[in-house]
Amino acid sequence: MIRWVVFIIIFLLIDFYAFQSVKTVTKNKIIYIAYWLVSIAVIVNVIYSINSIGDSKGLNQQVMLAFGLLILAFAPKIIALLIMFSEDVFRIFKTGFNYVSKSNETSFFPERRAFVSKVALGLAAIPFTSVLYGMVRGKYNYQVIKHTLFFDDLPESFDGYKITHLSDIHSGSFDDADKISYGMELINEQESDVILFTGDIVNNTADEMDPWISHFKSLKAKDGKYSVLGNHDYGEYVRWKSAEEKENNFQKIKNIHPKIGFNLLLNDSIYLNKGEDKIALVGVENWGSRFKKAGDLELASSKISNKDFKILMSHDPSHWEQVVRNHESNYHLTLSGHTHGMQFGIEIPGFKWSPVQYVYKYWAGIYKEFNRYINVNRGFGFLAFPGRVGIWPEITVITLRKLKK
């Protein structure tokens, strides 16, 4: 209860401050009433949605929509608040100057300027339209991102081998079958040799995937489709009635993978073969510095040779940072996801930023250290915030090339 009171007080204080920009620009009482009715409705909706979460469902679409509307209402007001606060700082200094100089100005404490309030409202429109676009269109704005990576010890037959890397499907968040169908078509258009999925097929429960089985079953790759688990696949974020219920859900989530034609690697490995050449594909269960550590790299690699060319599938990039990149065995390429790029940020040529980079050093795209690569996929789906702003859903296509000596 105390947390809700604090939340309401903070939100209303920000609301009140931002309201000053509206109040300065117009004296229309209807606009005033509409402003506060919308604000109150957003707060009530958030409180109601969170308190109505079912014990066995966890984070659902109702809660995500409420959270999205909160951001939609909140983000523009932060911008307006900053502008209005800056003006108030100026007004205070101006008042002090008037006092010291014994100014004869008729208004000793300067009034708010309509121009500044108009600027505040104009700038506030930028995050409003960005968040609105992200919720309506951005979450399905699939981007095919292509990389070509060179290795001097890549087996000759795999020169030009093409991998489609997917991650973080989060099927419980989907709400548009046509957009998902389009995503599947886009993946198949890449005509990759293999499709690799690095975890989080659901948000919480296995039944979230039921409406989407036929869509993901339609994915095709010449050398097959392989997958691993992510932190959301273990049902860790639901209050289960019993350990047995949680285990049953976990088994159902693992059973989803063969239903859609994916070979789930649970701390295991297989070889991809071309003629007499082969590369090792290693898949570990989730291993995260902040999340479940079920991954066992040594067990997963027990069937393969140290000299093999190796591709590792591991959901959380912190595994690569803390274990894999310095490992005595060379895992040439690691594929991860998990971060979603926080679904918010800025990516333009030569510049990439998201708040998630202050949590994860390796958070989006290709990184190379010690002559080893990791690709951190930005995610196919979305979670919590029902949209994406600046960090779009990703289909990665990686082409392996042999470095000629």
* Digit-coded pLDDT (tens) for 74-129: 999 999 988 888 877 777 777 776 667 765 554 555 677 888 888 888 999 999 99
pLDDT at residue 129 in the model: 96
> How many CA atoms, within 13 angstroms, populate the side-chain half-sphere of residue 197?
29
**Is 359's pLDDT higher than 80?**
yes
Residue among 291, 289, 174 nearest 231 (CA): 291
Composition of the chain by helix, strand, coil, percent to 5: 45, 20, 35
Residues in the chain: 405
**Is 42's pLDDT higher than 90?**
yes
CATH topology of domain 138-402: Purple Acid Phosphatase; chain A, domain 2 (3.60.21)
Residue among 246, 173, 252 nearest 211 (CA): 173
pLDDT band at 3 (very low <50, low <70, confident <90, very high): confident
> How many CA atoms, within 13 angstroms, populate the side-chain half-sphere of residue 63?
14
Alpha-carbon dihedral sign for residues 10, 14, 15, 16: positive
CA atoms of 200 and 117, how far apart (whole Å): 44
* Digit-coded pLDDT (tens) for 195-208: 999 999 999 999 99
CA atoms of 403 and 405, how far apart (whole Å): 6
pLDDT band at 214 (very low <50, low <70, confident <90, very high): very high
Q: Which residues are within 8 A (CB) of 183 and not within 5 positions of it... i.e. 6 or more apart?
A: 140, 142, 380, 393, 395
CA atoms of 405 and 109, how far apart (whole Å): 76
Alpha-carbon dihedral sign for residues 295, 300, 301, 302: positive
pTM reported for the whole predicted model: 0.92
**Rounded percentage of the chain residues whose pLDDT exceeds 90:** 76
* Digit-coded pLDDT (tens) for 259-310: 999 999 999 999 999 999 999 999 999 999 999 999 999 999 999 999 999 9
Give the H/E segment covering residue 392.
none
Label residues 192-205 b or e (16+ Cβ within 10 Å = b): bbbbbbbbbbbbbb
Q: Read off the pLDDT of each residue in 362-389 and give the average, rounded to a whole number.
A: 97
Residue 269 in tokens: 């490995």
Judged by DSSP in three states, 279 sits in: strand
Give the H/E segment covering residue 234.
none
pLDDT at residue 245 in the model: 95
Which residues in the chain are classed under CATH 3.60.21.10?
A: 138-402
pLDDT at residue 54 in the model: 60
